[in-house]
Structure 1
């Protein structure tokens, strides 16, 4: 009989190259993890937040890889994207007709303000000075599904 999986948190990590395809790959990665754990209620918000975080890293981290770190806990998930740029994201004036400027506003709305930045970088990025931008989403149904 397989041994029971330890209680969450469970970490999942994806390295994202500085390519236009990285946001899509990151969304699919997060969606696959959440579906496998039965956390479908978080899919839409989590994939949109993932897309915004990874897109910002691709656009603003000056050609460096980024690292998506997803932590799943019983009642919440935390998405963090580390990149090689120490510059903190700054909200811009939203242009309702433009293509840019909505990312941080979307994070604010989708996470009820549970997002922020942390200095430093993940070990997976070779120690470059950088930052992590994170957000948290909560679930109304605690994670109980076995991971084995």
Structure 2
């Protein structure tokens, strides 16, 4: 007798801390890819990976003081995927989009354009920058995929 596949839970979560090193941005991107692949949630994989890269880079350059880490959390809850990057720095996230001739400062702008929502949650120490993506939960829960 064949056992039917177990449907993916509607709620999944993974979290990992990364050191304040340049190599950690690639490691954060790989962490996101592995989690989403394991969950079968790959329809917006490229957008989520790019956002993970941009948010991790911001945490590395502007948020995590030397000797500290930043934390990447992925949560899939029903049809909503949330990517959050928390740091312990005291610098706020930039609010304004970059000027046309700026050589940097486009990370949050890109994340805002690629995601369905972006926000910043301030903490007593540090902040969490998060983005959300709407997913097709029917595809995640179907036996085929």
* TM-score normalized with structure 2 length: 0.82
Q: CA deviation at 1:12?
A: 0.2
3-state SS, counterpart of residue 41 of structure 1: coil
Measure, in 1, the Cα distance between the counterparts of 2:101 and 2:16.
Answer: 32
- Structure 1's consecutive aligned runs of 4 or more residues displaced over 4 angstroms after TM superposition are none
Distance 1:95 1:29, change over 3 A: same
Measure, in 1, the Cα distance between the counterparts of 2:18 and 2:100.
Answer: 28
CA RMSD of aligned residues (A): 2.3
Q: Which protein has the larger Cα radius of gyration, Structure 1 or Structure 2?
A: 2
Question: Counterpart in 1 of 2:29?
Answer: 27
Alpha-carbon contact 2:8-2:39 (below 8 Å) kept? no
Question: Counterpart in 2 of 1:84?
Answer: 88
Question: Counterpart in 1 of 2:127?
Answer: 131
3-state SS, counterpart of residue 135 of structure 1: strand
Distance 1:65 1:5, change over 3 A: farther
Question: Counterpart in 2 of 1:118?
Answer: 121
The correspondence for 1:93, drawn from 89, 94, 98, is 98
Structure 2 residues not aligned, in runs of 5+: none
The correspondence for 1:140, drawn from 114, 121, 136, is 136
3-state SS, counterpart of residue 90 of structure 2: coil
* TM-score normalized with structure 1 length: 0.80
Q: How many residues align?
A: 135
Q: Is the counterpart of residue 46 in structure 1 residue 48 in structure 2?
A: yes
